[in-house]
Amino acid sequence: MKLITILLLLLSVPAYAATEILAAVAAAGTSSSFIVTNNGKKTIIIAAASGHTAAEYSDVQISNDGGTTFADLYQDGTQVRLHSTNTAVRVEGPGIFRVDKETTSNATSISVSEESSL
């Protein structure tokens, strides 16, 4: 009986621990900022119960002044965006990041997870 209880507890634990940084809404919004330490890695995840349409984007942004202002993040000349076919991106530190979500057809939440917990 103890073995069954332990197995049920293990199966009920989520595959990763993520912190919600923007609650599920359809309206445009900006997530809470989060820090990635030197050599740290975090994964940003968007989730919509009914999914995104192809033209809906959420832009990953970085601050270069300690979190006062933010600018869109580019990697190898391409803007880092979350959308219908790119629902998770990894950012590496050091840096202060956030996500700027445009209005979406469906309520969409944004979470961030420590890379090591995936």
DSSP class per residue in 41-60: EEEEEEEETT---TT--EEE
Q: With 80 as the cut, is the pLDDT of residue 32 above it? A: yes
> 3-22, pLDDT tens digit by residue?
343 333 333 344 557 899 99
Q: With 60 as the cut, is the pLDDT of residue 47 above it? A: yes
Check residue 79 and report its DSSP letter: E
Q: With 70 as the cut, is the pLDDT of residue 114 above it? A: yes
Domains (range + CATH), the chain:
17-117 (2.60.120)
Give 1's Cβ-side CA count (13 Å radius). 0
> 51-83, pLDDT tens digit by residue?
677 788 999 999 999 999 999 999 999 999 998
> 86-99, pLDDT tens digit by residue?
899 999 989 999 99
Distance, CA of 91 to CA of 80 (rounded, Å): 9
CA dihedral 35, 51, 29, 38 (to 10 degrees): 10
